[in-house]
Amino acid sequence: MKFFVRSSTKRCPRLGVLRCTEGKSEVEIETPVVLLHTQGGHIPHITHEVFKLVSKEPQILQIPLVSMHSFKDTMTYYNGTISEFIGSKNSLTCLTLHDPSNLTKQGHHTRDKIPIWTKRGKVLYDADMYMDVVESFKPNMYYLLSDGDTNKTSPQKRIAKAVEQTVVFNKQCLERHRKSEVLKKMFVMAPIAGGYCLKSREHCIDRALFIDANEIDGFLIDGLHNNGPEVEFLPFEEIKSILEFSVDKLPPEKLCSVQGCWSPLNVIKLVQCGIDMFDTSYCHILTERSAAMTFQIDTSDENNDYEINLRHHSLAEDFTPIIDGCECLACKKYTRAYIHHLLTVQELLAPVLIMIHNIHHYLRFFRKIRQCIANDTLDEFENFIAGRYENYQRKTTSSVEDKIISENIGDNI
């Protein structure tokens, strides 16, 4: 797999293409792109067969090791690839360490090893163990092992340790990569650690490029957060200087990636900084709180809300689709009232339908981003989404305040 960027200008929205010719008929995926976040090899709530009803375009599945650790021994004896093992042989795959939709526990550090938190507890991985997994899984892309356990509040000692560990892991993993016939055609992404310290980021980047920049196909700007739903509400101003500094230091011809449940508005801001690759973990956390994306993407869209909570009692008799005119299966076949009913009786079909809609809407959103970059209208689209988001925040704040006032009046009576 190779990455080709149309513009080598730094710190700006850019179009590119990921091209894969190995083992499959030639596949081209345009960037900015979003990886399909999976757990246990499947998109949460959706089977591979159902996803074919959402999109027939080639996609890249994000395979977090934390959710696939239990299959590690099985994959050692399995001759095929991880995409074949999970029943999606025509999909491309990208192996990552953590699940961006779940909060990664802080601490529990061990020298030369990284903890991952599986359903059966903590498991420690060193570089050799991790590369054994990469060789047995045979993904199309993978991130090198890293220590990304930093956030806004991390002390300098923790940041320095994260950089030291990440540099060592990068070196050890690349040594294995050079020696392996299985790995040599895979797309390699090097994580950049350093928390919120510019000097530490610079040191990590310099060391990554010193090892061998030619063997690295892209970079992951890691260590900005500890994953989980809270990333949706991370103020962009907190990470802006770190992102801009990192992108400026990285080679412009390389793919640049971030992970996390970024809100649509922050996704656009990240694209404006030159980020090329994201994931759909945001769709998952939205579905878990029974919310559907409804923000307007094209002028033909009739809905003005940013998102709606399908559990809200006002939707009990709303016999319209989630979005009028939406072409997803959920909107074409079902109504808000029906999905509200399914949620009320805790029917498993409810999150399936919500996830179908959210994934469909998010993929449309990324197509719109690429279109806006091509037409040089991304600034206008950002302002439009920002306006919808601000209206949503005002309504949410007003609703909460009204509820508190109502409860206080009831208590006084």
Q: Which residues does the annotation place in the binding site?
A: 326, 328, 331, 357
Closest CA to 54 of 72, 36, 81: 36
The structure tokens 């009320």 sit at 344
Residue 187 corresponds to which amino acid?
F
Residue 206 corresponds to which amino acid?
D
Strand intervals (E) in 233-327 = 255-257, 277-279, 291-293, 307-309
**Per the structure block, which two tokens stand in for 168?**
């060592």
CA–CA separation, 381 and 271 (whole Å): 12
DSSP states along 130-176: HHHHHHHH--SEEEPP------TT--HHHHHHHHHHHHHHHHHHHHH
User: How many alpha carbons lie under 13 Å from residue 365 in its C-beta half-sphere?
Assistant: 27
Closest CA to 36 of 55, 22, 9: 55
Consecutive H or E run containing 370? helix 349-375
CA–CA separation, 322 and 312 (whole Å): 13
Binding site feature residues for Zn(2+): 326, 328, 331, 357
